[in-house]
Structure 1
């Protein structure tokens, strides 16, 4: 099909995610992708500046990842994971636990980030139930986003996602994200909540709150909050769906925080964007609360595609890439380049706050505009016309480029951003 034919049939048949179709721009009709670029049906290329929602961290059609799936597909492409196991799942679990924070001990498989959070919340509720406690409340950070399923949505603080469902959500108490300035006040709030509520879990995005316009939080302050909740027997859940696998400068954002979570949620870059897969890892202590002669104390949550061998094989290959010198050097180069660009970007009159953590770079436009609407669509379109794919969060423009991004590609991105700023300043 031509791009025009695809768009015509798309408009006829398809309902896209996170889209108000009456006001949205027509989607880009992508025909293929290679390396760090997307290509439309007319042959125009677009640099994937957000790694396709932070998943394709090793570029598109990475040879090592595509080979892993080719090698696996003729051996075992799927099997029920309840009552069965296989080498790809065992191999992935072993590799993953070697790089996860030291207290993680068990791996639970699912298919997407929202579900990994749903599982974590259920684990926390049942952990207390199995120990004879009925704890029903969850503490979450203001502005957090954890997914679209009901538990994950409940823990999220974005009204545009939650509005129609507010009366149906689980009991979630939101607190400000801790900073060096407010940590003492936040700890006082935590003390009051602990005294007045039966809190099952505390869920947080470590270091970077993605959907909150890449808000970046203080590791030391967050560490103190985690410590206090854990001292009260509250299960701490790190949602690393976005931050996991190197984006913050370490394998996981939790590596930069002394007090470790009890449960970690992973997806997105887990398979390098090749296959849908998610993982919820936990400590031995959490697992042991379910280990019992009574069947009903087991964790009765399952998905048809849990532990899919193809996903396991490609995720295992992705970990090999992550720990390689080539990718580690690439991440370091991007981090250093971003740091240098921050200095230049900060001087522009149209730029407000600039934030940088690992390969994540975000800045605010010094204008007033809505998170969604025509102005945002205009920014989308401007960058598309220049051959760059990104998704502004209101007046926040951010980059999360693939680890395979070259210095020349970074220069192109930075130059394009400055051109955009200059075009808006006229």
Structure 2
């Protein structure tokens, strides 16, 4: 029931499970989490202590498939020897050095490798930061300062898509399209117009004031795995180019193989003006982000000090993160990660179809490469009352069958490390099927 063989709880006289939980509830504040529910005496948090491949292990020795890749970050599995070795080798040299006024070899090499992913030399400049939100924040500030320095200060507005998610720093939050997360903060950020489609974008009357359009290409993750129509991204690129508007692609979730290619934009041969990367950049090991920019945008920041981009973080281009990122790209090449994805994507597609056919609780399934969502609804097709928290209940039940994942509302997210094999994909769907049955009734045949 717990995946692979369960071990005994690790014995540690000074740090047992109850001690860790007590410390957590006394001092820790968890993201996106109602704290009263977390700190309820009846709530026993899962304490994760080890990872190996696609598996995570808790302090009781129970093993679970990492079904959402540790919040969409892990690419090649946990404790991958190539990435481990790269980090260990860098640790023996230097763990961190400032990138303000200095350089280091790994940042130089990584920037070259990232630029080489676009062989037409269109995205040649790499600005490092810490996470997906700051990668987006960089792009937004660059886009505004570019307009100021090019005599287009009137272009001070952005366009974003409803139900999109671009991070939680103030500028990125102002472009977030999920009201529950961002509505209270929008007035403190950038001017923004929200649209649902390319048609609504074309109809805007303020296009002459728009500096940039931001989108999660091919699929919105936080919007319950909403997949954009085929060809939409290419049309968006053509329209923004025609209007002199910068296209900002948020590939924080979709980058590094998630959609079947290294970057989602490559499916439609689109090159943006800004490409925002994080999460899988280091293989899911360490915080590191990159904003890739066209050379002509970089050129607008050349000149005297007044034109410089005054933005940065203490851990910008952290050498350990760069070491992990270079090792991750090495693994892509050595293990032919992208070449092996079509068969896994096909298996995932077939399993989703079988699950929808088997369970009356599965209203729909959505997939983009190795990103999938299973939306649960009542038998009549109506959404469950929000206070039932069905998605949470199903994910909690799935732990009993060796699967960890999180829902978005009542959509179960399936987004495992790309290293997952056929048996482990089967395990995911067996666990989800049983968890749905346990939560909503015995109405789905086990796959």
- The two structures have a TM-score, normalised by structure 2, of 0.89
Where in structure 2 are the equivalents of 1:21-60 lying within 5 Å? 21-24=35-38, 25-60=43-78
1:351 is aligned to 2:362: yes
Aligned length: 416
Partner Cα distance (2:402, 2:353) in 1: 25
Where in structure 2 are the equivalents of 1:86-101 lying within 5 Å? 86-100=104-118
Report if aligned partners of 2:195, 2:201 keep a CA contact under 8 Å in 1.
no
1:249-303 alpha-carbon deviations (Å, 9 max, x no partner): 10000101233210000000100121110000101111111112x2111111111
Which position in structure 1 is the counterpart of 2:196?
176
Partner Cα distance (1:31, 1:414) in 2: 24
Report if aligned partners of 1:369, 1:394 keep a CA contact under 8 Å in 2.
no
Task: Give the stretch that moved more between structures: 24-33 or 151-160.
Answer: 24-33
Report if aligned partners of 2:251, 2:263 keep a CA contact under 8 Å in 1.
yes
Where in structure 2 are the equivalents of 1:324-335 lying within 5 Å? 324-335=334-345
Which position in structure 2 is the counterpart of 1:12?
26
Partner Cα distance (2:102, 2:230) in 1: 40
1:159-187 alpha-carbon deviations (Å, 9 max, x no partner): 12123323323211011144xxxxxx335
Q: 1:89 Cα deviation (Å)?
A: 0.7
Change (3 A) 1:325 1:177: farther
Q: 1:391 Cα deviation (Å)?
A: 0.3
1:320 is aligned to 2:330: yes
1:11-62 alpha-carbon deviations (Å, 9 max, x no partner): 0110011111112454311121111111111111111001101111111111
Partner Cα distance (1:302, 1:117) in 2: 13
Report if aligned partners of 1:3, 1:40 keep a CA contact under 8 Å in 2.
no
Q: What secondary structure does 2:272 align onto?
A: coil
Q: What secondary structure does 2:86 align onto?
A: helix
1:304 is aligned to 2:314: yes
Q: 1:370 Cα deviation (Å)?
A: 5.6
Where in structure 2 are the equivalents of 1:149-160 lying within 5 Å? 149-160=169-180
Q: What secondary structure does 2:212 align onto?
A: strand
Which position in structure 2 is the counterpart of 1:80?
98
1:283-334 alpha-carbon deviations (Å, 9 max, x no partner): 1111111112x21111111111111111111100101112334423442332
Which position in structure 2 is the counterpart of 1:189?
203
| Residue among 263, 287, 293 paired with 2:274 | 263
| Residue among 84, 108, 111 paired with 1:66 | 84
Which position in structure 2 is the counterpart of 1:131?
150
Partner Cα distance (2:343, 2:44) in 1: 35
| Residue among 337, 343, 353 paired with 2:347 | 337
Which position in structure 2 is the counterpart of 1:182?
none
Which position in structure 1 is the counterpart of 2:408?
393
Which position in structure 2 is the counterpart of 1:115?
134
Partner Cα distance (1:143, 1:322) in 2: 32
Report if aligned partners of 1:262, 1:282 keep a CA contact under 8 Å in 2.
yes
Partner Cα distance (1:200, 1:139) in 2: 8
Report if aligned partners of 2:218, 2:264 keep a CA contact under 8 Å in 1.
yes
1:143-171 alpha-carbon deviations (Å, 9 max, x no partner): 10000001100110111212332332321
1:252 is aligned to 2:266: no
Report if aligned partners of 2:174, 2:192 keep a CA contact under 8 Å in 1.
yes
Which position in structure 2 is the counterpart of 1:405?
420
Where in structure 2 are the equivalents of 1:198-209 lying within 5 Å? 198-209=209-220
Partner Cα distance (2:349, 2:391) in 1: 26
Report if aligned partners of 1:227, 1:259 keep a CA contact under 8 Å in 2.
no
Q: CA RMSD in A?
A: 1.7
Change (3 A) 1:199 1:101: farther
| Residue among 365, 368, 373 paired with 1:362 | 373
Which position in structure 1 is the counterpart of 2:250?
239
- The two structures have a TM-score, normalised by structure 1, of 0.93
Q: 1:371 Cα deviation (Å)?
A: 6.1
1:417 is aligned to 2:432: yes
Gaps of 5+ in 1: 179-184
Change (3 A) 1:218 1:372: farther
Report if aligned partners of 2:375, 2:410 keep a CA contact under 8 Å in 1.
yes
